[in-house]
Amino acid sequence: MSMEGRGLLVVVSGPSGAGKGTICKGLLETKKDIVVSISNTTRLPRDGEVHGKNYFFISREEFLDMISKDGFIEYAEVYGNYYGTPRRYVEENLHQGRDVLLEIDIQGALQVKEKYKEGVFVFILPPSMEELKARITKRGTEDEKEILRRFESAYKEINYVSRYNYFIINDRVDTAVEKLRSIITAEKCRVDRFKMKLIGQ
């Protein structure tokens, strides 16, 4: 185990369409010393989504059973579907000193923050609201009403940035990925995080 002991919990969040998925993917392509937690969801797979890669697609019954067994560190119902982060995978990896990346929505991130105050909470902002609208629209899998609902929700959600530790404006993916990588590197250098260990030396 490294000097750091317990791994770092990195929570990447933000409004739908801000590009948090793309940024996390970019990080994972080059950074191999972080594991990603795969969420469970009851919604149906979108085109190209793979079970066990994008999500674990499970039934409503299975999801409710896991809730009853305290099996999630966060879960939420969004647009009528359940999404949740299984507790066991996160806990085991952090305990073994591995950093864990969560890419989750804002409701979920705020739940995680209640229990994991030492986590690093990163909010992804779209470069502008117009851009956000374009991205939500371009996804092309939702009808008009769904798009409008998402856009309004995203607009309200942006105020939650104040509850996070860091923000990244996603105007260029490579720059945004580099910022996320820097945040993780910097957090490991924070004196507050390891004060007890250093003083003891």
Residues that bind a second copy (CB under 8 A): 122-123, 159, 161-162, 164-168, 178-179, 181-183, 185-187, 189-192, 194-195, 198-199
Half-sphere exposure of 59 (CA within 13 A, CB side): 3
Nearer to a second copy, 81 or 185 (CB): 185
Rounded-to-integer distance, Cα 197 and Cα 27, Å: 29
Identify residue 74 by its one-letter amino acid code.
E
DSSP 55-99: BEE--HHHHHHHHHTT-EEEEEEETTEEEEEEHHHHHHHHHTT-E
Identify residue 129 by its one-letter amino acid code.
M
Phi, psi for residue 32 in degrees, rounded to 5: -100, -5
Nearer to a second copy, 79 or 155 (CB): 155
Give the number of other CB atoms < 10 A from CB of residue 16: 21
Least separation in angstroms between residue 123's CB and a second copy is: 7
Nearer to a second copy, 86 or 127 (CB): 127
Least separation in angstroms between residue 121's CB and a second copy is: 9
Identify residue 167 by its one-letter amino acid code.
F
Nearer to a second copy, 28 or 183 (CB): 183
Least separation in angstroms between residue 147's CB and a second copy is: 23
Least separation in angstroms between residue 172's CB and a second copy is: 14
Rounded-to-integer distance, Cα 115 and Cα 100, Å: 15
Residues 6+ apart with CB under 8 A from 173: 19, 22, 23, 26
Least separation in angstroms between residue 50's CB and a second copy is: 31
Nearer to a second copy, 32 or 138 (CB): 32
Least separation in angstroms between residue 191's CB and a second copy is: 5
Nearer to a second copy, 41 or 170 (CB): 170
